[in-house]
Structure 1
Amino acid sequence: MSASTPPPPTHGNGKYIALGLLFLFGIAGLFVWKMVLDKPAPAAVAPPPPSGSAPPATTFSQSQVDEVPPPPPPEPDAGPVRKVASTNNSLAGCEVKTCAGSITSDLETALAFRAKQAHRCYDQALTQDNTLQGKVQITLRIAPSGGVCSAGVTANDMGTPAVAQCVAGYFKSTGHFPSPKGGCVDTAVPISFVPGGR
């Protein structure tokens, strides 16, 4: 007797082939659909204007707008330069050489509060160097209305200018303090930074 191997089963393969083809057609259909959706719409062509009437308003597509070059910079004026008065009245009185005002208790409290908030600059710097410590002094000029005319670092023994500049930024960005008494005031705010202390 000779042993023969049975033929492989042939039933059921057609089902898998049909499913595979259906899957491929589905992917191809999605691809074509996506290409049709991404295709830009054709630009509308305006009909020619009737004779004797005003031309229609021009419309641009986004791609045409992106292609328009920016206008040229204005040409320098040959005439004398005029200074325009500032419309920011909160800084009126800042231009004097020396200020004759004095600090009120409200202003002193506000400055102390701002100095406490400025510790955020130091706390952030401590994440980079946990041994950082020292003193910073910020000199301020406050307008009669309470606006900050200027704020700058006048002393810094911390070994890094970043913290001091950040602290000065806190005072500059304040907006307004309570008004000093008798005009603008120049003042210095010393701040000590020690790890773990406020």
Structure 2
Amino acid sequence: MRYALIGLLLLLGAGAIYFFSQSDEGGESDPVAQVTPDAGPPQRTNVMVPELEIPEEEPDAGQPDTGPPEEETAMSTMRRRPRECTGNIDPSAIRQVVARQNPQVRACYERRLKVNNILQGTVNVRLRIGSDGSVDSVRVGGSLRDNEVFGCVRRLAQSWRFPSVDGNCVEVSVPFNLTPRP
């Protein structure tokens, strides 16, 4: 009995499908929906979407911390740099060395300017110059905010040679203002 009832329902369903498909062939066509032309993306109603705030990058801190100081030995005291620089150097000598190095610093900047054409700002180079005129340490920071330029300038500055210092060492700060050339 159950199978007879299922068969009857299937027969009625097939007949209904046949009936409705025959009535559509009467020559009447389906109504065509009118489509309006695309007006583009939907308009936003809010004026401004808040952006994420990116914190300012800390200036380069120089060499990483190497841990606690070594035990006092004859060799370790010879390698240590003095904590305070008490030396003097002629400012015109610093300007002269920096002027000679300016094209190389500019080349570091120009290389990155090809990647980011709106790159501009100041690169501050803080140097510790030893008594023999060699650069003992370099710190680089500034408003330019490009680590590749900072790294390039740091590598250059480590090789700069200055006149001998009167005293143990001297610390100087050298700013480079870098903007695209017209």
| TM-score normalised according to structure 2 size | 0.53
Q: Residues 126 and 194 from structure 1, CA distance in 2 versus in 1: closer, same or farther, beyond 3 angstroms?
A: same
* RMSD of aligned residue pairs (Cα, Å): 2.7
The gaps in structure 1 that reach 5 residues or longer are 1-80, 87-91
- Equivalent of residue 75 in structure 2, options 67, 85, 89: 85
Aligned residue-pair number: 111
Work out the CA distance in 2 between the residues paired with 1:94 and 1:107: 24
Paired residue secondary structure (1:118)? helix
Work out the CA distance in 2 between the residues paired with 1:98 and 1:146: 16
CA contact (8 A) 1:143 1:185 kept: yes
| TM-score normalised according to structure 1 size | 0.49
Note if 1:112 corresponds to 2:99. Answer: yes
- Residue 152 of structure 2 corresponds to 166
Between 1:122-131 and 1:178-187, the stretch displaced more is: 178-187
Q: 1:1-198, aligned counterparts within 5 Å?
A: 85=75, 95-104=81-90, 105-153=92-140, 155-174=141-160, 176-196=161-181
What is the identity, as a one-letter code, of the residue corresponding to 1:164? Answer: F
**Superposed displacement of residue 181, structure 1:** 2.8
Identity of aligned residues (%): 32
CA contact (8 A) 1:142 1:186 kept: yes
Q: Deviations over 1:1-51 (max 9, x none)?
A: xxxxxxxxxxxxxxxxxxxxxxxxxxxxxxxxxxxxxxxxxxxxxxxxxxx
- Residue 12 of structure 1 corresponds to none
- Residue 77 of structure 1 corresponds to none
Q: Residues 93 and 148 from structure 1, CA distance in 2 versus in 1: closer, same or farther, beyond 3 angstroms?
A: farther
Q: Residues 180 and 115 from structure 1, CA distance in 2 versus in 1: closer, same or farther, beyond 3 angstroms?
A: farther
What is the identity, as a one-letter code, of the residue corresponding to 1:98? Answer: E
Q: Residues 82 and 180 from structure 1, CA distance in 2 versus in 1: closer, same or farther, beyond 3 angstroms?
A: closer
Paired residue secondary structure (2:75)? coil
The gaps in structure 2 that reach 5 residues or longer are 1-70
Q: Residues 137 and 83 from structure 1, CA distance in 2 versus in 1: closer, same or farther, beyond 3 angstroms?
A: same
Paired residue secondary structure (1:145)? coil
Q: Residues 94 and 187 from structure 1, CA distance in 2 versus in 1: closer, same or farther, beyond 3 angstroms?
A: farther
Paired residue secondary structure (1:190)? strand
